[in-house]
């Protein structure tokens, strides 16, 4: 279940995807919707490919002009500042490539990079590949008196512990809000204050930015005073418009930072798919006009996911797998302590394999989102993805009912 790269072991999530396919399991593993994107972006894509010949040829390497313009306008309104579409925005092959370009461009040999745990699992190998040294700071669950249902909000960063991780070698802090796998919406001011105090960059992965629940609001760290100049904000059309296969993402930040990412982009992929960018641009143009109204997809998608979150939480609770309610994103972690076994392999890895092979339900072990140092302390949780058709969640429920 591990992949070896440069003598380092990395968790191989592909193995779980393969197992899920082999066993034809009900798939609440990898994070993608099992339904189509909204019609307005599908129509925009069809229109793009049936339009002129230009849509089938290269576009501007750093981003299709209509897309960078609407991204600058959209995010400029949110952070309350002018964003230059040609200098401050880079379109990438999904958020994944934006992350890769950011680490390659900004991290040098020996730089320390603070990563909040649990973290989206590519951060660690990407930091190492760039020559950096990951330094981890965990979100820790605190027990909250009188709260019946655990929430991702109960997982907190200790400001003192975070502060203690900064050294003269610290180059950047990586955050992911809302977080994958936990759903935590990060407490940003303490992070921002430390970034400013130590003159450190912030790489902020905000691919689930539209998905928050229970009145939680997504806040962009780039919009806090003193942070624009030092932040790269990363987003994904795959998560924004439920179209993960289009692989359109972006990085937004000051010209000085983005120009360094552009150099990496130019050396790696040079240009991204034109028609997909055109469709994403049309999608954002529509959303710009409808922003904050009930017709907006950025209102409708979280409303739909809120119901799915409730549905999954009640199935898991009934099966004795206590869920941690996410404040955002589309994943939920659940506690498997009642099913503990003893073995050399981390408990959650074993449990996930058992769940796929014996029960036909695919999930992801949460210790895969931890550094090897901390993995064993967090191996009682598994992650469920709930951006799935109700029929898929019902099929999962049928399986979970066999637990009690």
From the list 183, 118, 120, the residue with the least C-alpha distance to 152 is 183
Distances (CA, A) of 358 to 11, 164, 317, 342: 22, 45, 20, 18
Alpha-carbon distances, residue 339 vs 14, 185, 347 (angstroms): 24, 29, 9
Regarding 31 and contact with ligand GLN (CB under 6 A), the answer is: yes
Total residues contacting ligand GLN by CB under 6 A comes to: 4
Q: Does 296 bind ligand GLN (CB under 6 A)?
A: no
Which option in ligand PMP, ligand GLN, none does residue 238 bind, with CB closer than 5 to 8 A by kind? ligand PMP
Q: How far is the CB of 346 from ligand GLN (least distance, A)?
A: 18
For 2, the token pair is: 């591990």
Binding site partner of 191, from ligand GLN, ligand PMP, none, Cβ cut-off 5-8 A by kind: none
Shortest reach from residue 96's CB to ligand PMP, in Å: 3
Tell me if 12 contacts ligand GLN by CB under 6 A: no
- What tokens does 263 get? 């150099």
C-alpha distances in angstroms, 145 versus 142, 150, 334, 344?
Answer: 10, 11, 20, 35
What are 114's strand-pairing partners? 135, 173
User: Binding of ligand GLN at residue 365 (CB under 6 A)?
Assistant: no
Distance CA 261, CA 173 (A): 17
DSSP-assigned letter for residue 388: S
Q: Which residues bind ligand PMP (CB under 6 A)?
A: 31, 94-96, 120, 176, 180, 205, 207, 236, 238-239, 244, 249
CB of 396 to ligand GLN, least distance (A): 16
User: 94 is in the binding site of which of ligand GLN, ligand PMP, none (Cβ under 5 to 8 A by kind)?
Assistant: ligand PMP
> Which of ligand PMP, ligand GLN, none does residue 62 bind to, with CB < 5 to 8 Å depending on kind?
none
Residue 180 binds ligand GLN, judged by CB under 6 A: yes
CB-based contact 282:114 (threshold 8 Å): no
Q: Which two tokens stand for residue 275?
A: 């028609």
> Which residue is it, tokens 């605190």?
142
Query: Cβ of residue 95: shortest distance to ligand PMP, in angstroms?
Result: 3
Contacts of 175 (CB under 8 A, 6+ apart): 116, 186, 188, 191, 202, 203, 204, 205, 221
Binding site partner of 30, from ligand PMP, ligand GLN, none, Cβ cut-off 5-8 A by kind: ligand GLN
Q: Is 179 in the site for ligand GLN (CB under 6 A)?
A: no
Question: Is the Cα dihedral 197, 198, 200, 202 positive or negative?
Answer: negative
Q: Does 30 bind ligand GLN (CB under 6 A)?
A: yes
Smallest distance from ligand PMP to CB 123, Å? 9
- Least spacing, CB of residue 75 vs ligand GLN, in Å: 21
Does the protein bind ligand GLN through residue 92 (CB under 6 A)? no
The binder of 216, among ligand PMP, ligand GLN, none, by C-beta within 5 to 8 A per type, is: none
Say if residues 241 and 92 touch (Cβ distance below 8 Å). no
Q: Minimum distance from CB of 81 to ligand PMP (Å)?
A: 24
Alpha carbons 127 and 103: distance in angstroms, whole number: 6
Which residues are near ligand GLN by CB under 6 A?
13, 30-31, 180
């Amino acid at each position: 279940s591990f992949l070896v790269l440069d003598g380092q072991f990395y968790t191989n999530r592909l193995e779980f995807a393969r197992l899920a396919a082999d066993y034809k399991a009900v798939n609440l593993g990898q994070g993608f919707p099992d339904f189509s994107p909204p019609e307005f972006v599908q129509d925009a894509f069809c229109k793009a490919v049936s339009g002129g010949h230009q849509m089938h040829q290269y576009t501007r390497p750093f981003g299709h002009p209509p897309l960078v313009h609407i991204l600058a306008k959209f995010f400029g309104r949110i952070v309350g500042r002018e964003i230059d579409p040609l200098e401050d925005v880079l379109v990438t092959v999904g958020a994944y490539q934006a992350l890769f370009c950011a680490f390659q461009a900004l991290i040098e040999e020996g730089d320390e990079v603070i990563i909040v745990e649990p973290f989206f699992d590519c951060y660690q190998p990407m930091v190492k590949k760039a020559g950096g040294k990951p330094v981890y700071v965990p979100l820790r669950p605190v027990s909250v008196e009188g709260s019946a249902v655990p929430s991702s909000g109960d997982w907190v960063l200790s400001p003192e512990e975070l502060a203690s991780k900064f050294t003269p070698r610290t180059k950047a802090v990586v955050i992911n809000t809302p977080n994958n796998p936990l759903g935590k919406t990060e407490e940003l001011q303490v992070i921002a204050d430390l970034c400013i105090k130590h003159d450190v960059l912030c790489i902020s992965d905000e691919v689930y930015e539209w998905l928050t629940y229970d009145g939680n609001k997504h806040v962009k760290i780039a919009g806090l005073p003193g942070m624009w100049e030092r932040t790269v904000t990363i987003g994904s059309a795959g998560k924004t418009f439920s179209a993960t296969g289009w692989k359109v993402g972006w990085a937004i930040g000051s010209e000085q930072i983005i120009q360094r990412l552009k150099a990496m982009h130019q050396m790696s992929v040079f240009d991204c798919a034109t028609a997909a960018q055109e469709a994403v641009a049309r999608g954002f143009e529509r959303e710009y006009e409808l922003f904050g109204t009930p017709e907006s997809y950025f209102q409708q998608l979280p409303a739909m996911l809120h119901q799915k979150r409730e549905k999954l939480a009640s199935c898991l609770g009934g099966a004795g797998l206590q869920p941690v309610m996410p404040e955002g994103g589309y994943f939920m972690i659940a506690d498997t302590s009642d099913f503990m076994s003893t073995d050399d392999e981390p408990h959650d890895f074993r449990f996930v394999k058992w769940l796929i092979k014996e029960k036909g339900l695919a999930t992801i072990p949460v210790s895969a989102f931890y550094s090897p140092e901390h993995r064993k302390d967090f191996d009682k949780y598994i992650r469920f993805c709930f951006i799935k058709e109700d029929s898929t969640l019902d099929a999962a429920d049928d399986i979970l009912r066999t637990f009690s």
